[in-house]
Structure formats: structure tokens, C-alpha cells
Amino acid sequence: MLAKIALRLVGAAALVGALLTLGPPAQAAVPDTIPLKITNNSARGDRVYVYNLGTLLTTGQQGWADANGTFHAWPAGGNPPTAAPDASIVGPAAGQSATIRIPKFSGRIYFSYGQKLDFRLTTGGLVQPAVQNPSDPNRNILFNWSEYTLNDSGLWLNSTQVDMFSAPYAVGVQRSDGSTVSTGHLKAGGYTGFFDALRGQPGGWAGLIQTRSDGTVLRALAPGYGVETGALPSTVLDDYVNRVWQKYATTTLTVTPFADQPNTKYYGRVSGNVMNFANTAGTVVTSFQKPDAASVFGCYKYLDAPNDLVRGPISRTLCAGFNRSTLLVNPAQPDATTANFYQDAVTNHYARKIHAQMADGKAYAFAFDDVGQQESLVHDGAPLQAYLTLDPLS
């Protein structure tokens, strides 16, 4: 499971870098490294540790980068996993900023409060923290991460809650024209507001919250992990999925997966336990088994989305429709009408409550929250500088 999660997220970052064309075009070659300014507005007295881990795009090697942006390949791991080299960078104290350099990577920028993270290496590479596992050595550490891709086409940098909602932060980029854009900030009171809202949601959603023995609220697990660990009932979405299956047994679901290709459409109909999709010629091009909650929340399994031009784009659209509960109100997907999102009583309440607390409404609350551009992402083709701002836990 750990390997699958790591590959999915790093792969998603690479896919973002390959497919999105937001922002102005590159004006000059992207340098080998760019500055990342880290500002600590958390108001916490804990020491901050920063890590830049990922895959070096020029060679495909996995490793880490130091504060100067110099790449270091991971040594060989073992079975059981062996301790990884200390890749930590001391971050800025509260109220201060520090600048490091980031290389052409596809990976993650982790930050932790008060304690270094414990990274291990297996024979297959780095083991990412997996705090849904009670024995994970990082479970009682307050930490979070951002995902980014920097390549010859520019920078894609996002805030993410795909795996968990935890220590808040925002990302930004100074574009080639000198302007700056940012995303990921919560509304005032949004951090505690999210946890309060989750605690008040019936149906087991409060079980996603993890708290340290000293009373510190550490995070809320994404609902897919809640289902996996038993914190959230596996039947939590059954009623909605059943209603969708019933509707499209007699109605056609039209999917137009590419905004720039309005004539590329696929038509879905349910037959028994399967939804078949046909192209405009009437040929069935792919089929989906009736999904369970794990498939919907994780956008995998019965809603697997390969990096192709047919099944993957259809699956992304279905995943967004199920998580946002728009499939019953609109038979033409994707639905870009945010007023329709999360209106059913059976929905991804984790994602709903995260988006409700974001200052700009944007978040990566599930894997394909970028359908309809609802994601918290900044991009530029020739970035001058990137930003990571640690926000208050209030």
C-alpha cells in the first residue's frame, strides 16, 4: 500500500506538470534550481524542519536536495527498511523567512514542527510517512507537505489534502512578469473551524481526526484511509452510489473529459453491476464496475485512471462527480457549477468542509480535485521564485 500511495502522488505531480498549461508561456530557459522562500507565520515556538524529496527528472534517480538545491541520491535500502540519511534543513523560526533552492524535481517538500521526520529506505526506495498506520514512526509528529514539479516547462506547486488535512500552509510563485500568485490559505479561523465541523458531522466522520496524547490535534485522515482503517464505515457512500446506478440504468451519462475538445464525448449506461461507456460511434470503449467507497475516495481500484486518453479521463470525471455528488443533479459531466458541489446528504464531507474553509475555495481534497480547476495549484513557465508560507493553526 505504501508504494502505491507514493507512486500515485509523485505520478500525479508529474502528470500535472505534463498536462496543465496555466499561466504565461516561458520567456527563457528554466534554470537548474530556483529559490523557494519559506515564511513561518505559524506563531509556534517549535523548531521547523524542511525536506525536499523526490525524483531528479534529468536521471530518474530518487533522492533529496539540500538547502543549496544540490541533489543527493538515496543509498540502497534494506528489508526491513533502513534509516535514510538525514535530509532535514532547519527552517525559519516563527515570524522569520528563509530561502532554499529547489532543483528540477517531481516530489514533495515536507515540513515538521518540533521533531525531525523518520524516513526509511527499502530495496524499492523511499518509504513515505503513512500515519494511518498506528506503528508509523511519524504518527505523533505534526507535519505536512507540498507537492511540486519543476522542469524545463516551468513550475507546478500545490498544497494538498489528498492524504490528510494537517498543519496549514500556502504556496505561491513569482511569475516571469514579476507578479505573484498564491493559493492554499485558510479563512480566518479555518483550521479549528474545519476540525469543529468534522466533529459535528454525523456518520463517523469525526473518527478521521488523530490527536496526540498531549491533546494536540495532529491531522484528519482523508476518508479513503478512514475506510481502510475502519475509522469510517465502508458503507458510507453506498446509498449515493446505488442511486447513481439506478438513475443511469435508464438515463445516459455524458462525459466530456477535455475542456479544449468539446466534441470528444463518451456516453455511459448502467447494465447490471457495470457502467459501459461508448464513443460517438456507439463502440464501447471502457467499462466500470460499481464502485465502493474506497474506489471513490481514492480514485483508484474500480475507478482506476491510467495515464491514457480514454479510460483515465473518463475515470477522473466520474471520481470528481462521485466525490462532489453532482452525478444525480447533472447528467453532463464534469459539472463546473460549484453551487452543485457537495449538496447531497451523502457526499465526501471531508472535501466539502476543506473547500468551505479555504480563502479562495480551492483545495486538493481528493486526487482529481483538479477536474474543473478546483485545485490549489500555482504555475508559471519561467518562475522567478516559489513560496511556501506556514500559516497559524487557528
Q: Quick one: pLDDT at residue 24?
A: 45
Asked which of 18-32, 101-115, 346-360 is least confident by mean pLDDT, the reply is 18-32
Q: Give percent of the chain with pLDDT exceeding 90.
A: 92
What are the residue numbers of the active site? 147, 163
Using CA atoms, how far apart are residues 181 and 171, in angstroms rounded to an integer? 9
SS3 100: strand
Using CA atoms, how far apart are residues 39 and 99, in angstroms rounded to an integer? 9
Confidence grade of residue 61 (pLDDT, cut at 50, 70, 90): very high
SS3 11: helix
Using CA atoms, how far apart are residues 305 and 333, in angstroms rounded to an integer? 16
Q: Quick one: pLDDT at residue 28?
A: 59
Sign of CA dihedral 101, 107, 113, 116: negative
Looking at residue 290, what DSSP letter applies? P
Q: Where do the domains of the chain lie?
A: 2-231+351-390, 238-345
Topology given in CATH for the domain delimited by 238-345? Metal Transport, Frataxin; Chain A (3.30.920)
Using CA atoms, how far apart are residues 197 and 202, in angstroms rounded to an integer? 10
What separation in angstroms does the CA of 13 have from each of 118, 193, 295, 346, 387?
23, 29, 20, 29, 17
Between strands 253-255 and 332-333, the pairing is parallel
Residue range 107-125: mean pLDDT, rounded: 97
Residue range 370-390: mean pLDDT, rounded: 97
Give the model confidence (pLDDT) of 216-260 as tens digits: 999 999 999 999 999 999 999 999 999 999 999 999 999 999 999
8 A C-beta contact, residue 158 and residue 140: no
Residue range 186-207: mean pLDDT, rounded: 97
DSSP string, 71-86: EEEPPP--SS-EEPP-
The residue with cell 462521485 is 322
Whether omega before 168 lies within 30 degrees of 0, making that bond cis, reads: no
- Classify burial at 139, counting beta carbons within 10 Å of its beta carbon; exposed 0-12, middle 13-18, buried 19 or more: middle
Mean pLDDT of the chain: 93
Residue 24: all three cell numbers together: 504565461
Closest CA to 394 of 195, 140, 175, 207: 195
Give the model confidence (pLDDT) of 11-49 as tens digits: 343 334 333 334 444 445 899 999 999 999 999 999 999
Looking at residue 186, what DSSP letter applies? B
Using CA atoms, how far apart are residues 258 and 218, in angstroms rounded to an integer? 38
CB contact set of 109 (below 8 Å; sequence gap of 6+) = 36, 50, 51, 52, 53, 102, 145, 146, 147, 148, 388
Give the model confidence (pLDDT) of 129-185 as tens digits: 999 999 999 999 999 999 999 999 999 999 999 999 999 999 999 999 999 999 999
The CATH class that applies to domain 2-231+351-390 reads: mainly beta
Please provide residue 111's backbone torsions phi and psi, each rounded to the nearest 5 degrees. Answer: -140, 145
The pTM is what? Answer: 0.92
CB contact set of 192 (below 8 Å; sequence gap of 6+) = 393, 394
Asked which of 24-38, 57-71, 77-91, 300-314 is least confident by mean pLDDT, the reply is 24-38
Q: Give percent of the chain with pLDDT exceeding 70.
A: 93
Please provide residue 393's backbone torsions phi and psi, each rounded to the nearest 5 degrees. Answer: -90, 70
Residue range 81-94: mean pLDDT, rounded: 97
Sign of CA dihedral 202, 203, 208, 213: positive
Q: Quick one: pLDDT at residue 178?
A: 95
8 A C-beta contact, residue 103 and residue 32: yes
